[in-house]
Amino acid sequence: MQVQKVTNSNITPSFQGKIDIIPGDLSYEPVKYLRKAYTSMEMLIKDKPYNLYIRQNHRENTVSVIAQNEKDFLKNRGVRTVAVVPASADLYKEAALGAAYAYEDLAHNASQSFWGKIKKHFCKIEFKFKLNNKGNK
């Protein structure tokens, strides 16, 4: 049996975050401001493992900038951060930045708690294993 040699030892996942506008209609004013901030928002998340979703709430006259992983967004679960902007304000760049930083902070804390739970679980198993081995001697 032959095994292929891996030539590139520095393999890193390449993320490509994107900006999605949730189906529906954006009014003229939010689109105008979003066009101004689009390139800076795109540069902000170009190599991130999450996307930015833009959704307008016509009833409240606001626009939400949502930062969430695409798989989690489709299943409506996981880490999600939302920044709300008035529809008549030019604050999309700041809202995207706030949502991105909040998402990264929450995702980091969630992953730490996940690994903490795993470690705790295996410590319990190890403790039980040691107790069982002492009783068998």
Enumerate the domain spans of the chain.
19-108
CA distance 111 to 50: 15
pLDDT per residue as tens digits for the range 69-126: 888 777 777 788 888 989 888 888 888 888 888 888 888 777 666 666 677 777 777 7
- 19-108 in CATH: which number? 3.30.160
Residue pair 31/61 in contact (Cβ under 8 Å)? The answer is no
